[in-house]
């Protein structure tokens, strides 16, 4: 099975350098990125589309689903890492509290937002692993997954064993998932 994994388009929180919460919409540029992505992928034989339930991911997946006439399956295991009480706060505030930019912590694959009401890296790894194990049981040849930067890092690591850094908006990553 081949996977095409996409980070959502630019969101309002990304533009404002805010630690994202679950219900952040795309910017005008993010909507353009989603449309461009749909045009790049429209000739591929994508059989299934999975998306995070968050607006920014769903709004990125929708133009692709519309062009391909495929229903989007929402999977809560693809939601972004929960930052707990940091969600909706400027990154600069979070850096003052924990001593690091939370986005950089994703590159280390070791983070723990539980003391702040969020998730640990072990919890995120477990839910992404669960998603991939369920996906393996399917018989699709080409699957599109629209999700978030932190989740893309985990998918890539669990499938390839390689750690990657940050991802760009609405850019696709191709992986083989055996």
- Token code pair at residue 86: 């940091």
Contacts of 126 (CB under 8 A, 6+ apart): none
Q: Residue 143: helix, strand or coil by DSSP? A: strand
Residues forming the active site = 8, 148
Question: Alpha-carbon distance 144 to 136, whole Å?
Answer: 14
* Backbone region of residue 89 per phi and psi (left: phi > 0; alpha: psi in -120 to 50; beta: other values): beta
Q: Secondary structure of the chain: what % helix, strand, coil (to 5)?
A: 50, 15, 35
Check: CB of residue 169 under 8 Å from CB of residue 33: yes
Q: How far is C-alpha 172 from the geometric centre of its chain's CA atoms?
A: 11
* Length, in residues, of the chain: 178
Rounded Cα distance, 163 and 35, in Å: 29
């Amino acid at each position: 099975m081949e996977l095409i994994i996409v980070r959502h388009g630019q969101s309002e929180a990304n533009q404002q350098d805010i630690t994202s919460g679950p219900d952040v919409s795309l910017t005008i540029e993010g909507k353009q990125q989603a449309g461009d992505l749909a045009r790049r992928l429209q000739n591929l034989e994508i059989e299934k589309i999975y998306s995070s339930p968050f607006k920014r991911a769903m709004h990125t997946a929708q133009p692709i689903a519309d062009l391909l006439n495929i229903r989007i399956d929402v999977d809560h295991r693809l939601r972004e890492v929960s930052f707990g009480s940091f969600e909706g706060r400027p990154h600069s505030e979070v850096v003052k509290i924990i001593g690091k930019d939370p986005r950089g912590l994703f590159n280390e694959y070791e983070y723990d937002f539980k003391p702040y009401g969020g998730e640990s890296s072990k919890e995120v790894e477990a839910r992404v692993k669960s998603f991939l194990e369920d996906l393996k049981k399917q018989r699709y040849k080409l699957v599109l997954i629209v999700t978030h930067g932190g989740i893309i890092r985990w998918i890539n690591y669990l499938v390839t064993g390689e750690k990657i850094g940050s991802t760009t908006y609405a850019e696709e990553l191709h992986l083989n998932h055996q």
